[in-house]
Amino acid sequence: MIIVAATATVDAEGSAPSDAVAIIEQMHALTNRLQNTDLSRLSDAEIAQVAAENERLIARLTYAGNQQIVEAENRNLARKTGHRSIIQYMQHRLRITFPGRRHVEVKATATYADLTTGQPLEPELPTLAREMADGRVGSAHVHAVMDVMDQIPHAIPHDVRAAAEQTLAEYAATLTVAEIGQVGARLLAHLDPDGTLTDHDDRARRRNLQVNRQRADGTSKLMANLTPLARARIMTFLAVWARPGMNNPTDPESPSGSIEDADPEVIAAAADRDHRTPAQRNHDALNALLEAVFDDGMLGKTHRGLPVQLIAKAELDDLIRETGFATSADGTLVPIADLIAIGADVQPWLAVFKDATAVPLYFGRGKRLATMEQRLVSFARPDGEMCSSPDCDIPTTHVEMHHAHTDWGDGGFTDIDNLTPACTRHHHMVGDQPGQYSTRMIADGSDEGRCAWQLNAEPGAPPNPERINRRPDIARWFNEVLTVIRDEVHGQPEPLSVDAPRPQLRQVIDLRDATPAELVVASALLDAAYRN
């Protein structure tokens, strides 16, 4: 689908907004010609000109795309297409790599309409928007200017802020991104030379703490902007808990908790054995504090029906082999080795499906809300670690339990075979109106026990297909494709083929012995299976 911006203007060549789809098709045709052009026949000057103008076009197209995102947001296309937010729509429908960052750019440089009059409003950063529309600055320059503008104290008058934006935008047209930061530092020093204009509101506005997505090795990056008081508390805590020798997970004799409660001789001996960096000691101290908070029950007893504990599920085969990953209720992949290491202190649950259960999972009309046992069993399902709506990745700790067949208000039962996890956004999108979802639990076949979601079509329009959230299957598919199944019955498996039947996925090569070509084929198979 191509989303176009609706405006009341006509360009210099008379192309009306209704021509936008045709214009996009023409641009694709021209792009095809450009991609297939023999550049070796151009002179040095022509190559330089083409490359520079190509980058300018990228900036101009990005500006046009920002305005299209505004139009999509105004029409609530995210909800109409089954996405929980405009950010998710941008990520999955528009295939934007960093949708949050791009949306911040859109709000600063795109033109929005006045909610009362419908008239277009000037962009938040008007000079920067004009420079981007002309292709003189790109997205990186825009964010560099925005970073400087965000640091201007709230007490600076509006007209001074406007002049600062104009100055920065004009400089951005000729400077590099790094140079914009240097100019911004000089500007901030001029506006607030002694730092007295920065107030509590500025610090509160900039405070944040963000946990990035897990990387391939399971680690995640933590980024934060701390208020002075939060920083003072953290530094005091680290001074006590992150001392050499304290809270060292690799040293069984290392004291845990506060240094005040530890034997000085034990601390000294542990410090001599401690080869961690200061940053590693900080990490281990924070981890020890969180462990103590969990153990003391300071987080409360339940959250969304689940006990406030580290809840993780693992396959029995992985536990036996001591390899692979478990999945926590918040969506974190936990190495099996780490899970086993804390196994002595955990409360195990055995989830038995289909014909047996040890907890009350069927209540009929006796209860409306799912119980803790129902929440735990739902999480234990193969697809229970996230919202069941297609493509949604909201983890179990942030979902509600949805009556999939029949809503409670319509006489539905609060039974485990009628309950499915749904994030708040998608749960509220269930209904019988166009643009809302109809749901049902699948009763047989390979997807038995999973929830199918169908977006209600407009009257007279062809029905939309039912869809299942296949995200939870990715780990299993990957395991099927890249796990060794070499036994005496099958022998050495044949090389993978993109056209191979699905059963061959259970009889493939080990990742350690895979050639680059075979890994590419495996990735293609996974991608095709996920799309289907």
Task: Decide if 214 is inside a domain.
Answer: no
pLDDT in tens, 261-286: 788 888 889 989 999 999 999 999 99
At 512 the pLDDT is: 42
User: What's the rounded Cα separation, in Å, for the pair 94 and 90?
Assistant: 5
Q: How many domains are contained in the chain?
A: 4
Q: Which comes out higher in pLDDT, residue 364 or 458? A: 458
Residues forming beta bridges with residue 437, ordered by sequence position: 430, 455
Supply 125's token pair. Answer: 């950063």
Q: Give the lowest-confidence range in 92-101, 226-235, 370-379, 493-502.
A: 493-502
Q: Are residues 408 and 525 in the same domain?
A: no
- Which residue, 451, 469, 487, sits at the end of a domain? 469
User: What's the rounded Cα separation, in Å, for the pair 286 and 224?
Assistant: 14
Task: State the average pLDDT over residues 521-527.
Answer: 51
Q: Give the lowest-confidence range in 100-104, 174-178, 493-497.
A: 493-497
Task: Decide if 258 is inside a domain.
Answer: yes
Supply 244's token pair. Answer: 């050499």
Task: State the average pLDDT over residues 84-94.
Answer: 87
Supply 176's token pair. Answer: 């590099």
| Interstrand relation of 333-335 and 325-328 (parallel, antiparallel or unpaired) | antiparallel
pLDDT band at 8 (very low <50, low <70, confident <90, very high): very low
Q: Are residues 377 and 502 in the same domain?
A: no
Q: Which comes out higher in pLDDT, residue 55 or 83? A: 55
| Phi then psi dihedrals of residue 132, to 5 deg | -70, -40
Q: Are residues 311 and 294 in the same domain?
A: no
Q: Are residues 287 and 320 in the same domain?
A: no
At 215 the pLDDT is: 78
At 125 the pLDDT is: 94
pLDDT band at 482 (very low <50, low <70, confident <90, very high): low
At 5 the pLDDT is: 34
Cα three-residue angle 295-300-303, rounded to 5 degrees: 115
pLDDT in tens, 189-205: 888 777 666 777 777 77
At 493 the pLDDT is: 46
Q: Are residues 355 and 449 in the same domain?
A: yes
User: What's the rounded Cα separation, in Å, for the pair 441 and 426?
Assistant: 16
Number of Cα atoms under 13 Å in the Cβ half of residue 507: 15
pTM score: 0.56
- Which residue, 443, 469, 495, sits at the end of a domain? 469
Q: Are residues 349 and 388 in the same domain?
A: yes
Which residue bears the tokens 């084929």?
521
The mean of the pLDDT values for the chain is: 77
Q: Are residues 169 and 308 in the same domain?
A: no
- Which residue, 239, 268, 299, sits at the end of a domain? 299
Q: How does DSSP assign 419-487, residue by residue?
A: EEEEEHHHHTTBSSSTTSEEEEE--SSTTTTPEEEEEPPPTTSPPPPPB---GGGHHHHHHHHHS----
Q: Are residues 409 and 453 in the same domain?
A: yes
Domain containing 55 equals 17-203
Q: Are residues 443 and 477 in the same domain?
A: no
Helix (H, G, I), strand (E, B) or coil at 223: strand
pLDDT greater than 50 at residue 310:
yes
Cβ–Cβ under 8 Å, residues 83 and 92 = yes
At 510 the pLDDT is: 42
Task: Decide if 7 is inside a domain.
Answer: no
Task: Decide if 348 is inside a domain.
Answer: yes
Task: Decide if 401 is inside a domain.
Answer: yes
Query: 259 vs 272, 276, 290, 372, 442, CA distance in Å?
Result: 15, 17, 16, 38, 56
At 259 the pLDDT is: 76
Task: Decide if 9 is inside a domain.
Answer: no
At 481 the pLDDT is: 57
Supply 351's token pair. Answer: 């989830």
Task: Decide if 250 is inside a domain.
Answer: yes
At 313 the pLDDT is: 73
Q: Give the lowest-confidence range in 24-33, 314-323, 331-340, 519-528.
A: 519-528
Cα three-residue angle 422-426-428, rounded to 5 degrees: 105
Cβ–Cβ under 8 Å, residues 401 and 426 = no
At 197 the pLDDT is: 67
Q: How does DSSP assign 281-319, residue by residue?
A: HHHHHHHHHHHHHHHHTTT-SEETTEESS--EE--HHHH
To 10 degrees, what angle do helices 139-150 and 99-109 make? 70
At 449 the pLDDT is: 81
Which amino acid is located at 39 in the chain?
Answer: L
Q: Are residues 280 and 355 in the same domain?
A: no
Q: Which comes out higher in pLDDT, residue 515 or 71? A: 71
Query: 221 vs 8, 97, 359, 404, CA distance in Å?
Result: 45, 18, 39, 37
pLDDT in tens, 109-150: 999 998 888 888 999 999 999 999 999 999 999 999 999 998
Task: Decide if 171 is inside a domain.
Answer: yes
Cβ–Cβ under 8 Å, residues 145 and 178 = no
Percentage of the chain modeled with pLDDT above 70:
73
Q: Are residues 355 and 436 in the same domain?
A: yes
Q: Are residues 245 and 356 in the same domain?
A: no
Number of Cα atoms under 13 Å in the Cβ half of residue 104: 12
At 498 the pLDDT is: 42
